[in-house]
Structures are given as structure tokens and as C-alpha cells.
Chain A
């Protein structure tokens, strides 16, 4: 039974949270996420979602509240963006270390300074070391579906890691498109209730989160081992993500890619890799250039953490060059996705040319002509056999307006 509504990404996430039967929501408003949490609070207010909404005074408190709630064995949700995500930083490490399966909606918005409310990926990418899984959606439908899938993945006994579902500010959060909303019955069949083994409030088996792991006392010296297990679960997640995406496809008939989504890459010489909504636009550019005879393909990097090393190595066997588009930058080195792709391929048997492109910071629009430029430039580098400039900035304003 298909219910199709015109929804923004913010609305779509609210519907997903309702369908997932989330039990505790604690979130602090921040443009451009606010409307999403407002919608969720409407659902709670009118009884469509039976959940506890905790009003908090900051994102730091929001993340703390959901960690506490999740530790007591309930399904939780929070949402934020940019400065708010940065404010949560300390608790992000905490959540991942505690292994609570929170799902968080992150609207990708640039970090200040200077002040910006517009899109780039720096906010979530700069949290890539915290231990949270990270997924980047290309459209509103994928966002709704990913929230549902992520509860299943995060709550899996072999995984038990929190995850971020990321969507571009304004391009997705405020853009209305048709979205298919699955029925509650179908979602219940796909996503069982959350039943963890360990909870904070079990009187029969009292535990506290977390121990102090001192390297000076052998009985507590387990910090490194906990971290080893945490990372092992990230590796396990790579498999689970593929499994759950497959299951979702069988049940709901939709597949958005799992770790990577490859578009026309089979006989491509140059592949453009992007994250977020412009990964969709890249496909239009690929189609146009294919019609002109360019052997080009597009890849959507959907799962950033855990990083799909094997899938990227497999992609490398098919292509001669990978142009990695980053909407973020690790100052002092290069774009984050670019860095990760290069490092994944260093020990690989197939080493195509890999080039980085910085685009779209602070909401700078990414035009099809910009993406075309990325591909054309990479072809030129490929012809020479090497990239004279290892990475490039595109659509940088060297001159200002005439005013």
C-alpha cells in the first residue's frame, strides 16, 4: 500500500522516526534541522508516535540525554547540524564507546567561522574519528529508507554502534519531492523492537556505564581491548550494511546502493565520486558526457564510516582515474574523502590516478558545468599520466561581484 507525499528531507526523517517507533527523542533546534524535530514533536503530541520528548538546553545535553536513554534499552533519536554537532563532540566519542545504537539525523551545514548556514560536509566529516557510522543520502527517499535501515544495522548484536544519517542542508532538508512512505505494518515486519542484553536499569544485573580503565591496574587495563572490539564491530558493520540493504530491497523494492553506488562504471576510464545530493546530479552529467563519447561513470560514496576499503579497491580495478569531490577539507592536508580513497588504494594491486577536487564549501552551488569540469580535467590528467596538481579548488571566486 503506497502512500506518496510531497516531503522535504526534514519531513521524511520525521516520518521515518515515527515508523521506527522511536521511544525517546531529545534534540535542540538549529537551522536547517529545526522543522524535522518540530514535525516529530507534532507526531508525539497528537499520539501518532508514542515517545518521550525531552526538551534540552543544548546539543551537548541532547546527546547526553539520548545516550542515557539508549543505555536503558530504548530506541532513541536525535538530530543536529554544524555548530550543534560540534557541540556534541565530546558525547559522540562517549556514545560510540558505550556502544549505544543511537541514530542521529545530521543536516550537513558549514561550520563557522565565517558564519554560514549553508551546505557543506565539514561538520560530519570532521567527526569521522568518533566511532559513529556515517551515511550520506542523495535524496529524500533515501533518507527515509536509511533511517529505517540504520536502526536495524546499529541495533544488530554484532554491531551496536551509533550512526549518523546525513543530508545536505537546503538542497535536501528544504526541498520538496515525492516520497513513498511505507506502512507501519511493513516497517514492523522489517524492524523488530530493540532488545539489548545489557541495560543500565536492570535490577537483576546491575551495571554502570562505564568503568575506568587504568593501565596501572591489570584488572581494569582493558581500554585498548574495548577499542579493538569497537573497531571490529565497525568491520562487522560493513557486512551488515550490505545485508540490511539487500533485505530492504526485497521487502520494500528500493535499493540506494549500500557502501558505494556505482553508476555506469563498468567500462569507465574516469569515475567521479561524490557524497550527498550532488551525487545524484553527477549521474546526469555522466549521461550527457557518455552521449558525447566519454567513458565516464559516477560513484556515490554512501557509507563513509566504516570506510568501504574493499569496495573502493574493487572500483579501482574497473577504472583508470577516480576524481573525488569533497565538500570539506582537512586543513593542512586535503579533502577527507580524497584522503580516505588514496589511503585505501595505497596497498592495492590496482592504483588508478586519484585526484581531489574541493567544491561547494559554505553552500557554494555545484553546477553541472562544475562537475563536468572535474571530469574533463581528470581526463586531461589521465592523458598526461599524472596530475600536475594533486588537488584543485573548483568555482573559487578569484574576483568579487561588480557592486
Chain B
């Protein structure tokens, strides 16, 4: 909690995780990776504009659903169409993305 007197002399902004909120809340569909079709090429990792895909221990890409906005670029770029954009529904909450 900042007060008027805690503000720095020059207005500055610092890099801060989730500075504008948990952006995973913005998505209406989420990328789901089918391990059978995935060839671990990591093209999805390369194209994610927010850098939210990482390689897990098995070598498969893993999406950080806390911040994934569901833009669908990964699904669009996947050469084997192993990524499907699944609609988020009322009944199933966003995984890891609903911290209020």
C-alpha cells in the first residue's frame, strides 16, 4: 500500500508480474494441446506473443493459463494442428486463471 509520501520524485514504472491484472481472465477460449499429435517442435512457444508457453520435463509445450489471453496464435501456427481452441464454459472455470 502506497501513500502520497511513498511516491518517487520522478514518476516511474517498474516491471511487475500481473501489473495490470491476471490476464487469463480475458480469454473466452483456451488452447488445449493434444500430446499424440504434438511433435514437440516448439513453434507454438516461438509464436506466443506473451511468452507463456514453456517446455515441460517431457519436452511437451505447457501453457501458463494464468495469463494466456486465448489469442489462438499457437493453435493457428501449429503445423500438426495439435492445438485446439476450446471454448471456456460457465460450468468449467478457467484453470488457474480465476484468482479474484
Contacts and interface: CB of A to CB of B under 8 A. Distances in A.
Contacts of B11: 113-114
A396 interface: yes
A398 B1 CA distance: 11
Categorize the interface residue count of chain B: under 10
A401 B4 contact: no
A396 B4 contact: yes
B3 interface: yes
A359 to B, nearest CB: 16
Contact of B1 (A113, A114, A400): A400
B14 interface: no
A402 interface: yes
Nearest to B12: A114
A399 B7 CA distance: 11
Nearest to A114: B11
A397 interface: yes
B2 interface: yes
Contacts of B4: 396-399
Given A113-B11, A114-B11, A401 B3 contact: no
A363 to B, nearest CB: 15
A364 to B, nearest CB: 13
Nearest to B1: A400
Interface in A344-403: 396-403
Contacts of A396: 4
Nearest to A403: B1
Contacts of B1: 399-403
Contacts of A113: 11
A358 to B, nearest CB: 14
Nearest to B21: A403
A10 B23 CA distance: 31
Contacts of B2: 399-400
Nearest to A115: B11
Question: Which range holds the interface residue count of chain A?
Answer: 10 to 19
Main secondary structure, interface of A, reads loop
A396 B5 CA distance: 12
Nearest to A400: B2
A308 B39 CA distance: 76
Nearest to B13: A114
Nearest to B4: A398
Interface string B1-43: 1111010000100000000000000000000000000000000
A321 to B, nearest CB: 28
A396 B11 CA distance: 17
Contacts of B3: 398-400
Contacts of A400: 1-3, 6
A63 B74 CA distance: 46
Nearest to A399: B3
A382 B2 CA distance: 35
A113 B7 CA distance: 14
B2 to A, nearest CB: 4
A369 to B, nearest CB: 20
B11 to A, nearest CB: 4
Contacts of A398: 3-4
A398 B2 CA distance: 9
Contacts of A403: 1
Nearest to B11: A114
Interface string A113-127: 110000000000000
B100 to A, nearest CB: 12
B18 to A, nearest CB: 10
Contacts of A114: 11
Contacts of A397: 4
Interface in B29-84: none
Nearest to B5: A398
Contacts of A399: 1-4
A401 B2 CA distance: 7
A398 B5 CA distance: 8
Nearest to A396: B4
A384 B11 CA distance: 39
17 contacts: A113-B11, A114-B11, A396-B4, A397-B4, A398-B3, A398-B4, A399-B1, A399-B2, A399-B3, A399-B4, A400-B1, A400-B2, A400-B3, A400-B6, A401-B1, A402-B1, A403-B1
Interface of B: 1-4, 6, 11
Leading 5 A-B pairs by shortest Cβ distance: A114-B11, A400-B2, A399-B3, A398-B4, A400-B1
Given A398-B3, A401-B1, 15 more contacts: A113-B11, A114-B11, A396-B4, A397-B4, A398-B4, A399-B1, A399-B2, A399-B3, A399-B4, A400-B1, A400-B2, A400-B3, A400-B6, A402-B1, A403-B1
